[in-house]
Amino acid sequence: MLALALLAFAGSPQDTLRVPADAYADQRTAQLVTSARAARERNERLVTAYTAKVTQRLGVGIRAASRDRMLFRQELAAQIEWKRDAPSRIKVLGAREAIPVVKRADEVPVDLESSVRWLVVNPAEDYLRVVGIDDDDDGFVYPLRDGGERDYKFAAGDSTIIALPTGKRIRLVELKVAPRRSDWRLMSGSLWFDADTYGLVRAVFRPARPFEFQRDADDEDRKDTPGWVNPIGEVKFVTLEYGLYENRWWMLRYAAIEAKGSMGSWFGMPILMERVYSDYEVEGGTPPDPASTFRPAGTTRRNDRAEDGTPLDSVRRKAVADSIRKVIDECIDQATSDDSMRTREDRRTVRVRIGRCTRRQSDDSVLAVEVPDDTLSLLSSPDLGEPILKMGDMISEAELKGMADFIQRLPSRPWATRVELPRGVGSLLERARFNRVEALSLGIKAKADFGRLSLEGSSRIGVADGWLNAEGGVLTTWGGGPLRLRGYRRLAAANPDTKPFGVVNSFFGLMAHRDDGQYFRATGAELTRSSESGRFTIRAYGERQRAARVETDFSIPHLLGSSADYRPNIVAAGTDQFGLAVDWRGEAPLSRSFSLGLETSAEAGVGDFEFQRGAVTLRGLVTPEGPLAAGLTVSAGTSAGTVPIQSRFFLGGPATLRGYDGGALSGEAFWSGRLEVANSFPAARISVFSDVGWAGPRSAFSTGKPLIGGGIGGSILDGLVRLDLSRRFRGDKGWRFDLYFDGIL
């Protein structure tokens, strides 16, 4: 997470080495790089003072199937008065933050002083900083640092002319930057410069590849972490834009980051940050005193020189960084040992102390932070703008449209080769699952990553059926989101909404003799394409489908003497099918107390069976200021043609009809509704609910008798983790307990 939240361009003077022959595409490119480097020293160091207003919006979300949630959001507004040769000041105009999955109300940031310090920018920095870290081994390697040719290849790109409101026309030239190797610290980028002054006007880049914990973390960090725990951090883009002020100074106007953290295929955490500087007044024209040791506010510490000013090599630079980390760690240990943290006030105190531990190392005592006495007034400051309701509010639509073309034209990831093979028993246990067809099923996976694309292969076999499952294919991100082509021989689920191959269904199958999946066997090939956000997916497939039988009655209850048998599986039709399926989902928070979500799906199949089917789901969530919250879901779907049983609509289980087993109902058409009411406190809720649903032949859509269930549930973190005790009111009446994730409340 730190690699995603703390991004920097890291660059430090190094001994000049021979420039690789392929560093520049041509002589024009070499001249552009040389001029851009010289301009950084000539122009930006002459700014002596500036004032500006700055606003920042930061959001961290959680992406889930039913609805996305905002985990954390923060909004800041401040007025900066910066001076190169004297102390500077920043005045807080507005500030609010919240953890919506825990508490709906906004609060003033706990350590507000530390939060706003990062908003101050020193125009004379040797590298461009979005948010700061101090060790260049931890951040992105800035291409224009000395010796950058050993890490990058350069090529002159397009040129364009922009017209300013004053009538002045400025020609911009592009420098394309391509990394030499697949390293998350290197970036693929596009840098645009003023052709007259070579001041930086725009930078858009993304890393050469994502950060992978097991591949890129320090040995010390990996030592106590299981090999199957491999969080991944991917920066989609970073953009910096500069504006021309006083017809001379290119000053940072806009900065934005989009990133995503993930853990396997089940956990996604988008991160967005947008920072805007406006109302600049800039002074300058005189160079700094070369004998001065004054470090103006906003200067980022770099461990590139010793106290006597001599350059440090990489070994000594790492030693300095380690010593600083040691001091900070000792300070944090001392801060956390003085308080029990049992009360809210204790926790706030400790967080402030931890922030001061880090700030103590930044040498920014020359920056005075001015916070009004009435801090509660900061929550409603008009300088903050409209409140953040969803992750899509973080970066304005106009800015996204302006960046889209630049992002698409960034150089591709470099070719590289890395092979990941199964490692020990842990690789088997990581992919273990249990169901009534396979019993215990163990699998392995291998991957060959070539940078721009990867080859993946996996296989598994069940103890009970002895049927070999195998998949293999190629994955790339060409043209946007993931594009995957693969062949497979696998056990498939007719009701994937029950997540039959997940850890929860496997647990209940083994420990409670209950399996919600309806299974069939499929052998074929598919091509899938997903959007970057995962909201849109299209799948084209051709496969042979066959029935799968229940092959085991083993479970812990059965082992202890229970005579219960697993329920029968569906008898899938033997068929050869070709088809196209499309899924889309979206959501729109209309206010802080009301949001809507919509899901649609459509599929057409030809072969032994010809059919079309479609479904739509509408969700409404009401969370008013009062003590209660409510959620409502309505769904319906129908089909045409002859639908094989494995392609019908299925109801049953916590995702569709609580109280009933997965696949309790199936048919060519369906409709369902779910209503629940809970307390409004999102951190922990108690709810009552009722579900109703019908599935059957199309002719009985309006006359079929539905099943009804209801019960009581509990959830934490705005429904991310959910526990339900439900009862069936029709058919085989009885009780059922469920643990699942991503409830509506």
- DSSP assignment of 377-437, as one string? GGGG-GGG-SPP-SGGGSS-HHHHHHHHHHHHTSPPPPP--EEE---HHHHHHHT-EEETT
Say if residue 331's pLDDT is above 70: no
Q: Which of 372-386, 511-525, 633-647, 675-689 has the lowest mean pLDDT?
A: 372-386
The mean pLDDT of the chain is: 84
Q: What whole-number distance in Å separates Cα of residue 740 and Cα of residue 4?
A: 29
Distance, CA of 474 to CA of 459 (rounded, Å): 15
Please tell me the predicted confidence (pLDDT) of residue 2: 31
Residue 195, pLDDT above cutoff 80: yes
User: Which pLDDT belongs to residue 360?
Assistant: 47
- Has domain 589-745 been given CATH number 3.40.50.300? no
- Contact, 253 vs 245, CB < 8 A? no
Q: What percent of the chain has pLDDT over 70?
A: 82
Q: What is the pLDDT of residue 54?
A: 96
CB 550 within 8 A of CB 568: yes
Tens-place pLDDT, residues 218-274: 777 777 777 667 788 888 888 888 888 888 888 899 988 888 888 766 668 888 999
pLDDT of residue 418: 83
Q: What's the mean pLDDT in 289-298?
A: 86
Name the least confident of 228-242, 331-345, 722-736. 331-345
pLDDT in the model for residue 14: 40
What does the angle CA 429 – CA 434 – CA 440 come to, to the nearest 5 degrees? Answer: 65
Q: How many CB atoms lie within 10 A of CB 519?
A: 26
Asked which of 53-57, 114-118, 370-374, 530-534 is least confident by mean pLDDT, the reply is: 530-534
Residue-level pLDDT at 339 = 53
Question: Positive or negative CA dihedral for 560, 565, 570, 571?
Answer: positive
Give dist(CA 175, CA 40) in Å, integer.
15
pLDDT tens, residue by residue, 604-662? 999 999 999 999 999 999 988 889 999 999 999 999 999 999 999 999 999 999 999 99
Provide the whole-model pTM: 0.81
Q: What is the dihedral sign for C-alpha 727, 733, 738, 742?
A: negative
The domain segmentation of the chain, as residue ranges, is 2-14+35-297+368-406, 302-361, 416-572, 589-745
Residue with the bigger pLDDT between 419 and 688: it is 688
